[in-house]
Structure 1
Amino acid sequence: MADLLTQAAYTAFQLGKSNFALAHKNAANQVRKFINPSSQPPIQPLSPNILQLIQQKYQQLLETDWQDAQSGIYPPDLLFDNPWEDFLPTYAAIWQDMPQVWDRALQKNYQDFPPDIDTEGYPKYYLQNFHHQTDGYLSDKSAALYDLQVELLFNGMGDAMRRRVLAPLKQGLTEAFPPKPLRILDVASGTGRTLKFIRAALPQASLFGIDLSPAYLRKATRLLSEIPGELPQLVQGNAEEMPYRDNYFHGITSVFMFHELPAPVRMQVIAECFRVLQPGGVFVICDSIQVIDSPELQVMMENFSTMFHEPYYQNYINDNLVERLEKAGFEQITNQSHFVSKYWIARKPKSGADL
């Protein structure tokens, strides 16, 4: 009986987040039309069949999230973990920022950084206002808004999609390594939410995070310092050339990064992940669905790249990451899809001494 009540509470919690996100998008569209009707991006309507399919995938993700908690992949209270504790001031700030976002989109101003933002030393591909976001990823303001923006974008399911890396990561580590201190790296760790979830699933592991943005790393430090246990080691750095020695990590994750990389950089980052992963280690990628295995949702993907500034997304949705993983040396590569996200699970081959 208790489980049924908890599941009902979880479902109500997620539906509340989803309904709020949908209401927010509708209100934002109406305000945008009123302020400047010409600023609306030309998107294609979604057919009833597509909407029904999205709803089915939504329900399947809710069920998977619940079942993974029930099976012990992570504690059930993680289902209610909520980045909205400072909801009201953050949400108000999102509305205050929207006119700038809309104007930036209308003007096609994709590298809009004020003078006080230091852009020296970053790769050119990174210096973008992804999603027309104010300051790109290079300010504390951007970092403060990011988690709520992601939840609104994904209709309250952003965290549920992040948590899908936990089952293959935990299973892969259990199969490959005896119980011992494990080292896990999250690449493009952002504000630290994926590391927070990994800490809940693997409380004894040593966690590491690398990200290009000092502002997002500051936000991650504040979030992760609230959690009992060893503080994850966070480093500002480029995933194309990571400051770790060969064969160091037992597991690596990356969430929502690869679609924001040019194709050659995707390959370089995969090669770097292979280098720093131990033989037998597991690499789990979470990112957007792709046309190659979700052709029925191609219209939705095309709308996404129309609505948001994502300069590498069209290439990404047609990119074969399995081939890239194999080229780097990974094996036993499998795929999963949950809602609007796709996952690659790959292993680094064991060395002769480990066989």
Structure 2
Amino acid sequence: MARMLESWRHGLSQTARIGWYAAHYLAVNRMRGPLTPPGEAPFKPQGAFPKWQGMLGEIRKLIEKDAAHVARGTYRAADPLLPLGDALEKSRRFFADMPALDERRLSRGHSEVREKLRGQPGARAYPRYYLQNFHYQTDGWLSEDSARIYDTQVEILFSGTADMMRRQALVPLARWMEGKDQREVSFLDLAAGTGRFLRDLKASWPRLSVLALDLSHAYLGEARRNVKRWRGVQPVQGLAERLPLADASLDVVSSIYLFHELPPKIRRAVIGEAARVLKPGGLFVLTDSLQQGDREDYDGLLEFFPVGFHEPYFTSFLTEDFGALCAAQGLKLVSAETAFLSKVMAFEKEA
């Protein structure tokens, strides 16, 4: 009975979140400039574009799936909604930043970060592919202002479903964790960002020993704030393609929305590193966007994403064969499941 009540409360709060962020999304669509910059040919997708009624149905299914996992005890319910004052402040920050973001999109300006760091000693710490205004975002990944506003931007983009989609990565983990003592499990989250996924992870397995790796000092600072109530989370600043960790030293590696923002060569290096640091029998959970063919009625929307936002590596990501890339590194696919606009794949390292 307690779980059912928790599930009901959880589902209600997630529905309210979707209403809040969907309202922001509608407001953005009224305020922003045209999707196609002046002089640029209008975007015409080759694939099908989903109808909004169908997308609302998929969001409803995601809410039901999320609540069902809470009811079954797969993972714990999410935190309650933000206090109104905090929510309004995040909303204010988002709308204050939106004109600059819209201006970059209309001018296709995405190299501001690189230009700001040119000639500075600290620039060498970052690979060239990283020094871009992904999503036309102010400061890219490299400032505290960017870190504070990022989660709001993402939730508005996905109408409040981003956290729910991230939580689906906990499902294959829960299966793998059955019969194991969480205190003896070592976990690495690649590109941990602001720690939103780690917050849900630690709520369900508070005694896991977790390394949170990210290249952005500012985003790791935000992650510390998001998981400060739990012990056992160690932030690590570093490259996913060159992990500062020993061979076969970890039980689980997760990657949440990282690979679509990596060049093809770097994707292969990151998978190789994940396989290297995993113990035999260890788990690799890869959660990212849908790819072409996962949902044919969404293929046109996926084509549009790198056009409407600055996502320079997304087009190559859409046709990347992650099953083959992981198999080449001794990682065997054990499950794959879609969740609205995301796909969760789980691999185990062969003995």
Q: Normalised by the size of structure 2, how large is the TM-score?
A: 0.90
Aligned residues: CA RMSD: 2.7
Structure 2: which 5+ runs fail to align?
none
* Corresponding residue for residue 130 of structure 2: 126
1:315 equivalent to 2:319? Answer no
Alignment CA distance shift 1:333-1:140 (3 Å): same
1:54 shift after superposition: 1.9
Residue of structure 2 in register with 1:106 after alignment: 106
Aligned to 1:55: 56
Letter in 1 for 2:111: Q
Residues 48-82 of structure 1: CA deviation (Å, up to 9, x unaligned): 96333322221221111111111112223x26365
- Residue pair 1:32, 1:40 contacting (<8 A) in 2 also: no
Q: Which residue of 2 aligns with 1:327?
A: 328
Residue 169 of structure 2: aligned partner: 165
Residue 198 of structure 2 corresponds to residue 195 of structure 1: yes
Cα distance per residue 1:160-202 (max 9 Å; x no partner):
1111111211211336x56651111100000111111111111
Answering whether residue 90 of structure 2 is matched by residue 90 of structure 1, we say yes
Contact 1:42 1:306 in 2 (8 A): no
Output the CA distance in 1 between the equivalents of 2:307 and 2:11.
32
Structure 1 pair 120/90, CA: closer, same or farther in 2 (3 Å)? farther
Q: Is the 8 A contact 2:251 2:279 kept in 1?
A: yes
The aligned residue for residue 209 of structure 2 is: 206
Asked if the contact 1:41/1:306 (under 8 Å) is kept, the reply is no
Structure 1 position 266 matched with structure 2 position 270: no
**2: distance between equivalents of 1:236 and 1:275?**
19
Give the Cα–Cα distance (whole angstroms) in 2 for the partners of residues 49 and 264 of structure 1: 31
Q: Distance in 2 between matches of 1:84 and 1:325?
A: 44
- What is the aligned length? 345
Match of 2:143 in 1: 139
Matched to 1:100, the amino acid is A
Q: For the residues of structure 2 that align with 1:81 and 1:273, how far apart are their CA atoms? A: 34
List gaps (5 residues or longer) in structure 1.
351-355
Deviation sequence 1:74-115 (CA, Å, 0-9, x none): 223x26365987222221111111111111112211111274
Q: Return the match for 2:225 from 222, 241, 244.
A: 222
Q: Which residue of 2 aligns with 1:353?
A: none
Compared CA separation, residues 32 and 75, structure 1 to 2 (3 A): closer
SS in 2 for 1:86: helix
Between 1:104-113 and 1:209-218, the stretch displaced more is 104-113
Closer, same or farther in 2 for the Cα pair 1:81/1:171, shift >3 Å? farther
Deviation string for 1:232-281 (max 9, x for gaps)?
Answer: 01100000010111111111111011100011111110110001111101
- Aligned partner of residue 51 in structure 2, secondary structure: helix
Question: 1:302 & 1:83 partners in 2: Cα distance?
Answer: 37
What is the letter of the counterpart of residue 315 of structure 1?
S
Deviation at 1:216, TM superposition (A): 0.1
1:25 aligns with 2:15: no
Structure 2 vs 1, CA of residues 38 and 98 (structure 1 numbering), >3 Å: closer, same or farther? farther
1:333 Cα shift?
Answer: 3.5
Shifted more, 194-203 versus 236-245: the winner is 194-203
CA distance in 2, matches of 1:48, 1:122: 37
Q: Secondary structure at the match of 1:215?
A: helix
Are 2:76 and 2:200, in contact at CA under 8 Å, matched by a contact in 1?
Answer: no
Q: 182-191 vs 98-107, which deviates more?
A: 98-107
Matched residues in 2 for 1:191 and 1:330: separation?
27
Amino acid at match of 2:185: L
Report 1:245-324 matches (<5 A): 245-324=246-325
Contact 1:144 1:219 in 2 (8 A): yes
Q: Residue 3 of structure 2 contacts residue 73 of structure 2 at CA under 8 Å; is this kept in 1?
A: no
Distance 1:83 1:245 in 2: 42
How much does 1:29 deviate? 2.4
Change (3 A) 1:13 1:47: farther
Equivalent pair of 1:188/1:211 in contact (CA under 8 Å) = yes
Q: Judging changes above 3 Å, is the alpha-carbon distance between structure 1 residues 26 and 178 closer, same or farther for their aligned structure 2 residues?
A: closer
2:37, 2:106 within 8 Å by CA — same for their partners in 1? no
C-alpha change, 1:161 and 1:224, in structure 2 (3 Å) is same
What displacement does 1:222 show? Answer: 1.7
Are the equivalent residues in 1 in contact too, given 2:49–2:297 (CA < 8 A)? no
TM-score by length of 1: 0.89
Structure 1 residue aligned with 2:69: 68
